[in-house]
Amino acid sequence: MITYSRFKIQGWWHSASLVAFIIATSMGCQPAKEKTAQSQFGYTRYAKGFSVETVGENTLVKVNYPYQNATSGYSYLLVPKGKTAPAHDANTQVVYIPIERIVCTSTTHIPLLDYIDQTQSLIGFPTTDYISSEKMRKRVDAGLVKDLGIDKGMDLEALVTLRPDLVMGYTMGSDLGQLKKIQELNIPVVINAEYLERHPLGRAEWIKFMALFFGKERQADSVFNSIEKQYLQTAQLASEAMEKPTVLCGVLYGDGWFLPGGENYASRILRDAGCSYLWAADSSHGFLQLSFETVYTKAKNADLWIGVAAFKSMQDLRAAEDRYALFAPFQKGNVYSYDARHGAKGGSEFLELGYLRPDLVLKDLVKIAHPEALPNHHLFFYQRLN
């Protein structure tokens, strides 16, 4: 799954995501003196999934953790157009920059383009209806972005006719599947692994990854600095709260209740929002699958219930599982969904923009948990179920 559907399933504490998630080289030929540890921008402060080095006039980008439990990564040598690529490892993909035409495969890539003013560079996408960005929808509606079909069934013939400079994808394992077929067509493929970052700002920092391919490093750095500033200021406000409401996440899928582990991205952002996530002491980075009884015993008196998949109302929630009404936050009306905003064709704005804008996500969570701390903030992604 490589489009919005991946994040419909995998969005951080979207319970269905947890199901899919669970089911789910370096360059040795260059003289050492030509390498520096990072680019001139001191590239990442939070993101662990990629690193950047300068190699002469070129840039070596390494995706360190391309998929869950990866033991090796992928390397990309970015060479200025008109220049000759230097000797490099056989497993290193050469990309000539700046690129002009890109095919993306996840809606989370869309804001990375929008925020560095490269909206016009997107020429293809699988299932364009999932795109919510107003700027990008104008291109889609004008016929400037080719709909390539659904994720694993992308129309490769149509893709080839687009002649993209780059396809940006993601993978759940070492088998690249259709992305491997695209590589065999001599189209550069780059793996974006933003979704594996554990820190909310680490995910946002992947805008710098996208920027490398367009020569927009300074702009991306400026965008990220603004997001970081807002996030840290909000986290500081939340840290001053005297009380921390207890939080339950997730819903049942089949016989299992899926919720984030204590070292998960969702747990971190709840902590930064001044909440007491009830499974914060758990040491796992992924997701937990628990019985209803286990969750009820621990969370029946929770103050807040945040993240209830795509349920639109309390009535819908109770219709799906009558036992939900046993929880205190259900009885008190303290149940929240992140599904408040949708694009023109129904795509989730949270699942598209939320990775890049953890500052907005955090403000919403602080508004829910400590409304007095942000009296002028109106919920952006989240809504209280009625």
Q: Which residue has the higher pLDDT, 380 or 7?
A: 380
Indicate the residue among 228, 261, 290 that finishes a domain.
228
Whether residue 230 is predicted with pLDDT greater than 60 in this model: the reply is yes
Is residue 358 within 8 A of residue 338, CB to CB? The reply is no
What mean pLDDT do residues 371-380 have?
A: 97
Q: Give the number of domains in the chain.
A: 2
Q: What is the pLDDT of residue 42?
A: 64
Instruction: Provide the whole-model pTM.
Output: 0.88
User: Same structural domain for residues 216 and 332?
Assistant: no
User: Same structural domain for residues 224 and 244?
Assistant: no
- Rounded CA-CA distance 250/13 in Å is 6
User: Same structural domain for residues 54 and 182?
Assistant: yes
Q: What is the pLDDT of residue 13?
A: 39
> 130-151: per-residue pLDDT in tens?
999 999 999 999 999 999 998 7
Residue partners of 386: CB distance under 8 A and separation at least 6: 313, 314, 333
Q: What is the mean pLDDT of the chain?
A: 89
Q: What is the pLDDT of residue 286?
A: 82
- Rounded CA-CA distance 334/188 in Å is 48
User: Same structural domain for residues 117 and 191?
Assistant: yes
User: Same structural domain for residues 61 and 89?
Assistant: yes
Specify if 149 maps to a domain: yes
User: Same structural domain for residues 109 and 215?
Assistant: yes
- Rounded CA-CA distance 79/88 in Å is 12
User: Same structural domain for residues 212 and 262?
Assistant: no
Q: Between vectors from CA 160 to CA 159 and to CA 162, what angle results, nearest 5°?
A: 70
Q: What is the pLDDT of residue 2?
A: 34
Whether residue 11 is predicted with pLDDT greater than 80 in this model: the reply is no
User: Same structural domain for residues 308 and 372?
Assistant: yes
Count of Cβ atoms closer than 10 Å to residue 290 Cβ: 19
Whether residue 99 is predicted with pLDDT greater than 60 in this model: the reply is yes
Cα dihedral 80, 85, 91, 93, rounded to 10, equals 30
User: Same structural domain for residues 36 and 185?
Assistant: yes
Write out the residue range of the structural domain in which residue 284 sits.
240-384
User: Same structural domain for residues 120 and 200?
Assistant: yes
> 47-77: per-residue pLDDT in tens?
999 999 999 999 999 999 999 889 999 999 9
Whether residue 21 is predicted with pLDDT greater than 60 in this model: the reply is no
User: Same structural domain for residues 266 and 212?
Assistant: no
- Rounded CA-CA distance 325/74 in Å is 48
Closest CA to 196 of 362, 340, 17: 17
Specify if 315 maps to a domain: yes
> 291-312: per-residue pLDDT in tens?
999 999 999 999 999 999 889 9
Is residue 135 within 8 A of residue 119, CB to CB? The reply is yes
Whether residue 9 is predicted with pLDDT greater than 50 in this model: the reply is no
Q: What is the pLDDT of residue 16?
A: 33
Is residue 196 within 8 A of residue 173, CB to CB? The reply is no
Q: What is the pLDDT of residue 152?
A: 76
Q: What is the pLDDT of residue 7?
A: 35
Of 13-22, 265-274, 349-358, 372-381, give the lowest mean pLDDT range: 13-22
Query: SS3 of 97, please?
Result: strand
What mean pLDDT do residues 185-204 have?
A: 96
Is residue 226 within 8 A of residue 207, CB to CB? The reply is no
Q: What is the pLDDT of residue 14?
A: 36
Query: SS3 of 144, please?
Result: coil
CATH code: domain of residue 187: 3.40.50.1980
With cut-offs at 50, 70 and 90, classify the pLDDT of residue 181: very high
- Rounded CA-CA distance 15/258 in Å is 5
What mean pLDDT do residues 164-183 have?
A: 92
Q: Between vectors from CA 140 to CA 135 and to CA 145, what angle results, nearest 5°?
A: 115
> 152-161: per-residue pLDDT in tens?
789 999 999 9
The fraction of the chain above a pLDDT of 70, given in percent, is 89
